[in-house]
Amino acid sequence: MSHKKEKDSQEHLPAADGAVRAYTRSKNFVEEIMRENERLRYKVFHQQQELAGVPRAASDSHHDVVSENQQLRRQLEEIKTQFEALNRENEDFRQRYQEVEHQNENLLNLYVSGYQLHSTLNEEAAVTVIREILLNLVGAEVFGVWLLDPGTRKMDLVNLTDECDLLQGQPARLSGERWEGLRGGEPWFAAAGVGVPGGEPVACIPLKLDERTVGVLAIYKLLEQKEGFTSLDQELLGLLAAQAAATLIGARTFTRGGGGLVWDPKDDGLGVGPA
Amino acid sequence: MKRILVVDDSVTMRQLIKLVLMKYLPCQITEAQDGLDALAKLKEGDFDLVVTDVNMPRMDGLGLIRSVREALKSTVPIIIVTTKGAEADRDMGLKLGANAYLTKPINGLQVSKTVTELLG
């Protein structure tokens, strides 16, 4: 009995082996499928992650760009504002520079005029300097200079410059309100500098010495290219008038007093040397 | 340093132009009191620029320009500074060979701008 069982068992062994092998193959196959499944699931998961991540990155990037753009726009606005402020400041400086330059020019004119006016005690030379100043620095074309004669108490015409013969040798007499104004030491300027033949002056400036009117400078016509008197012209004329008065009175006194000192025409200016 | 010849019969004007020029550029100024004096000085030495008045005794500014361009065959830049403001006077000056025409009373900024343009 036992022998029969053993024999049966031995007969059935190959079949069992086959089943085990089949089982093993199946098991391996299933395991392989499961690994593949796991791998694919992992891959799917990653791809889903990637797919979910792309739009968000694009959105983030877009947001960053918009934010940066806004920031740049703000900076641009700030720069524009600063630029406009700088431009205004620049314009302001430019105007101030021009004003300073005009003032410098005026001071330069005054310096040269004063230097020339005080460089002579000769009445004729002083009148020449006054003419040069009025013509070249002020732009006066027709003008006359009067000086008070203390003896007669009348105004003597010292010089009349009228190359275009506007006045035909007959300068308008200063009278009435204008004369009273000059007597009080007040200068007078017309709005425009255009002269009228035989007409009134366009500017009258008193020549003052020690706050006393000792003469008059009357301008009848300005040069063609000069439209009128600027405030700087008026200031310059006022300052010149004071110096011109002192020079003319000084030169006249010096000349009438016999020249004060007698110069040797052969003298080179240094004489014979130190005493 | 640029050499400039200033021609004017008025000492006041010569001094003023001299100071204006020296204020804006380093230069050596020579003065002449009329056209003939200027011509003699131009024959003696080289100048980079001539600034001249028109109304002058002996030889006026226009005569000077004519002599400089025709007799001396010089191309030295010449600026006229004059009281004559009429368009015909300006045309005449420029036609004779002046490079610029300025009217008195002078404007320092305008003078400096013109001089800078001509001297480069």
- Longest CA–CA span in chain A (Å) reads 186
Whether the complex's predicted ipTM is more than 0.90 is answered with no
- The reply to whether A132 and A101 lie within a common domain is no
CB of A118 closer than 8 Å to CB of A127: no
Lowest mean pLDDT among A50-59, A92-101, A215-224, A250-259: A50-59
- The reply to whether A45 and A152 lie within a common domain is no
Buried b (16+ CB within 10 A) or exposed e, A212-250: ebbbbbbbbbbbbbbeebeeebeebbebbbbbbbbbbbb
pLDDT in tens, B43-53: 998 999 999 99
CATH number of the domain that residue B35 is part of: 3.40.50.2300
**Which chain B residue is nearest to residue A113, measuring alpha carbons?**
B12
Instruction: Among A117, A143, A158, give the residue marking a domain's end.
Output: A117
- The reply to whether A130 and A109 lie within a common domain is no
Between CA B39 and CA B7 the distance in angstroms is: 10
CB of A228 closer than 8 Å to CB of A222: yes
- The reply to whether A27 and A137 lie within a common domain is no
- The reply to whether A183 and A136 lie within a common domain is yes
Q: Inspect the interface and report whether the beta carbons of B12 and A132 lie closer than 8 Å.
A: yes
Residues of B with CB under 8 A from a CB of A: 10-13, 15-16, 19-20, 23, 83, 85-86, 103-109
Domain of residue B22 covers: 2-119
Domain of residue A188 covers: 122-256
pLDDT of A13 reads: 64
Counted domains in chain A: 2
Q: Inspect the interface and report whether the beta carbons of B104 and A112 lie closer than 8 Å.
A: no
For A112, which of B19, B23, B86 is closest by C-beta distance?
B19
- The reply to whether A248 and A186 lie within a common domain is yes
**Which chain A residue is nearest to residue B9, measuring alpha carbons?**
A132
pLDDT in tens, A24-53: 888 888 888 889 888 898 888 888 887 776
Helix and strand numbers (H, E) in chain B are 5, 5
* Residue (of A158, A139, A142) closest to A220 by Cα position: A142
Does A132 reach chain B within 8 Å, measured CB to CB? yes
Helix B108-119 crosses helix A2-117 at what angle (to 10 degrees)? 120
Does A247 reach chain B within 8 Å, measured CB to CB? no
CATH number of the domain that residue A234 is part of: 3.30.450.40
Q: Inspect the interface and report whether the beta carbons of A133 and B12 lie closer than 8 Å.
A: yes
Between CA A17 and CA A193 the distance in angstroms is: 137
Q: What's the mean pLDDT when you consider all of chain A?
A: 81
Between CA A10 and CA A4 the distance in angstroms is: 10
Q: Higher pLDDT residue, B33 or A162?
A: B33
**pTM to 2 decimals?**
0.69
Counted domains in chain B: 1
